[in-house]
Amino acid sequence: QVQLVESGGGLAQPGGSLRLSCSGSGLNLNFWAVGWVRQVPGKEREGLSCIGSVDANTYYADSVKGRFVISRDYATNTVTLQMSSLHPEDTAHYYCVTDRARYCYSAEYVHYEYWGPGTPVTVSS
């Protein structure tokens, strides 16, 4: 059974930072492209970033480019999203996602097959 689990969400002040991590069971994340998607209740899902498997290329939506960094740790089989310069508009539920594809479709893609339960991020003073 494929399961993704996110950790690291919470409360941050505007301009602050948070680090989200994603781990998987039932699959080796090192073999697959992994993305991050966020959603605010009542709004559309927003694809933020993706990192490829074979090429480890990274992709970012314009809304987070220059502020968020996605990376892999092959030793621990995890994918991390380092979020900096946070804005109140970054408040959302953040999901780790994968399609078990080797390469990313795009940063904005949201129709992934596998989703973690998500972790909340709140940016507020």
Mean of pLDDT values over 79-97: 98
pLDDT averaged over the chain?
96
pLDDT at residue 82 above 90? Answer: yes
pLDDT computed for residue 55 by the predictor:
83
pLDDT computed for residue 2 by the predictor:
87
Cα–Cα distance between 50 and 90 in angstroms, integer? 17
pLDDT computed for residue 18 by the predictor:
98
The DSSP letter of residue 107 is T
Cα–Cα distance between 13 and 122 in angstroms, integer? 8
Q: How confident is the model at residue 46 (pLDDT cuts 50, 70, 90)?
A: very high
The DSSP letter of residue 108 is T
Each residue's pLDDT tens digit, 91-121? 999 999 999 899 999 999 999 999 999 999 9
Query: What is the full DSSP assignment across 63-82?
Result: TTTTTEEEEEETTTTEEEEE
Q: How confident is the model at residue 86 (pLDDT cuts 50, 70, 90)?
A: very high
pLDDT at residue 45 above 90? Answer: yes
Mean of pLDDT values over 52-60: 92
pLDDT computed for residue 7 by the predictor:
96
For the chain, the farthest-separated pair of C-alpha atoms sits apart, in whole angstroms, at 40
pLDDT at residue 27 above 90? Answer: no
